[in-house]
Amino acid sequence: MSASSQTAFVDTNVLIYAHNLDAGTKHELAKTLIEGLWSSGQGKLSVQVLNEFYVNITQKIQSPVKPETARAIVEPYLSWQPIVPAADSTLRASEIQQRHRLSFWDAMIVHAAVLSGAETLYSEDLNAGQLIEGIRVVNPVSTSGVHET
């Protein structure tokens, strides 16, 4: 799957798959997506995504990477100008949580995607095809071959 010309926000799980060699087909799909977003310059993410990525890639995957390796992976993503939560982000995310019946952390991801101006949210955690706050959810690592509904 390649990235489109639309601005796209990447959720943590997709970023993990892109850098987790043990993830098989999901690794290949996510890696291709991320490479496309690098080429197009359309990728967006948040500080939350980078924080979650760092913890998971160094501690929770089958073959964790060393902290210095994780930092070397994270550093280039800073050029994507990660969304930093504002003082009112907790309130805005809690409203999204209530409106769409999401977990608070998923609502924070949606809020950051809104702030980034993304049209697409690449995530395995949310329902593919769902429109949340005007952003289309796409599961780019679906092994069923269905990425959007």
Q: What is the mean pLDDT for each group of 10 consecutive residues in the chain (149 residues)?
A: 72 97 95 97 97 97 96 98 96 97 97 97 94 96 62
Q: Where are the domains of the chain?
A: 8-83+117-138
Q: What is the dihedral of CA 81, 37, 42, 72, to 10 degrees?
A: 10
Task: For residue 43, list its beta bridge partners.
Answer: 8
- What pLDDT shows up at residue 143? 74
Task: For residue 147, list its beta bridge partners.
Answer: none
- What pLDDT shows up at residue 144? 65
- What pLDDT shows up at residue 146? 47
How far apart are the C-alpha atoms of 97 and 112, rounded to whole Å? 13
Q: Taking the model in full, what pTM does it have?
A: 0.91
- What pLDDT shows up at residue 126? 93
- What pLDDT shows up at residue 148? 47
